[in-house]
Amino acid sequence: MKTNPLGTLRKGKTIQQYLEGARTPVRTTFSQILSQEKESANKQSETPVVTIGTISKDNPTVANLLMDSPNYKKDCFKIIHSELNRKKEYRKISAGSTVYINKQTNEITWQKNDAKNITMTNNNTTTNLPTKISNRPQVLIDSHFRGNDVINETGDVSERLANAVLKYIGKPYKEINCYGLVVRGLKNLGVRYDGNGGLLEKLVKMAEDEGKPKNAYMNGEGIVAASGSTVYYKSFVRVKNPEIQAKEVFKEIEPYLKKGLILSFSAESKGHTGIISNKDNDWTFINSGRLDNQNYYSPLKKGVGEEKLLQEIENWFKLSHKLNESLKITVGEIKEEKLTAFLDNSKTKIV
C-alpha cells in the first residue's frame, strides 16, 4: 500500500477540503513584510495629542485658540472647565507657547518656546511628548504687566487693554459686572485703582467738584474723562427708528474703531460699558451683561462675553425706544500719559 503524502485524510473530507484547512505556512512577500512593519511603527508612534495653536497677540488665551478650531469651537468652555482642565494655571502660559489638546480626553497642555518637552500639567505627574517647533514669531514681553494676571505682549495701551479683559470671558455677571470688567483690565495694565492717588479717588473728586453723587463718574465715561480722551459722542433725545439709527452710528464711528476703545451707553435709567475688540475681522464688544449677540457658542447667558458690536448698539437703541428715554453714546480712548498719574512707579510702569 502506498503512503498518502498528505497524511491520513479525515473521514468524509476531500483532498481539496483538507488542503484548505491544513495548517501550512503562509508565504509572505518582502513588500508585505515592509508594509506590516511600517503599519506597526505608525501605530506605535501615533499620539492623540495635537496642536491647537500658539499663544500670540491675536490669540492671547487658550479660549481664543479653541474658538478658532472648528473641531473644538462648540465645546470651548466645556473643555476649559472640565475636571481635567479646570485647575490648570492658564495665567502662567507665556506668549509664544504652543498649546496642545488630547483628542481622546480633551486635556489641555502647553509647551514653552525654550522647552525641549511638553510638561503635562496634571496634579502630580509629568509626561514628555515630542517637541513641535512653531513657525510663529515669539511675542516680546512688556514690563508693565504684573504677576501672572494676563498674557504679556507689546502694542499700544488700548490694544493691551482689549487683550487684558479677554481672560475674563466666561465669568458670570455676579462675579464681574460691566464696570468691574473695565477696572480689572486697567489694573492688569498696572493702573492703581484703589487707595491714595488711585483712579477711584480721582473719579470721586471729579464728582464732588461738580456737586454730583460720589459714584457719578464710576462708569465708562468717567474713566475716559479721567484717563483718556473722547473719540466719539452723540446724544439722542428720543429714539424713533432703532435699527436705522444704530446703523448710522456704527457707520459714523467705524473709521475711528480700534481694539481697546471704551464704549459706553447711557439711558436715563440704565447704563452700560465695555471694550471694543475685533474677532475674525468683525468688530466686537467685550462686556459683562446679558449675552444675546455672542459671536460664538457659549452656555453662559449673563456674564462676560464677546458680542457683535453692531447688534449691541442696536440693542441699546431698541431699549431706549422701548423705555422712551434719551440715549447717549460715548467712545473713548485711554492715554498712557494720563494713566501715568495712577501708576505705582516703584513697582511698574507702562512702556
Closest CA to 227 of 105, 337, 345: 337
CA dist., res. 223 & res. 245, Å (int): 26
Q: DSSP H helical segments within 90-209, as ranges?
A: 157-166, 178-188, 199-209
Cβ atoms 80, 300 nearer than 8 A: no
Task: Please report the pLDDT score of residue 207 as a whole number.
Answer: 94
What is the C-alpha separation between 12 and 9, in angstroms, rounded?
8
With CA atoms as reference, report the closest residue to 159 among 229, 60, 233: 60
Question: Which stretches in the chain have pLDDT values below 70?
Answer: 1-47, 57-58, 91, 113-155, 295-298, 344-351
The total of other beta-carbon atoms located within 10 Å of residue 69's CB is: 16
Residue 325 pLDDT: 95
Give the pLDDT score at 348. Answer: 45
Q: Is 84 exposed, middle or buried (0-12, 13-18, 19+ CB in 10 A)?
A: middle
Which pLDDT value is given to residue 78? 78
- 262 phi, psi to nearest 5 deg: -95, 120
Strand, helix or coil for residue 135: coil
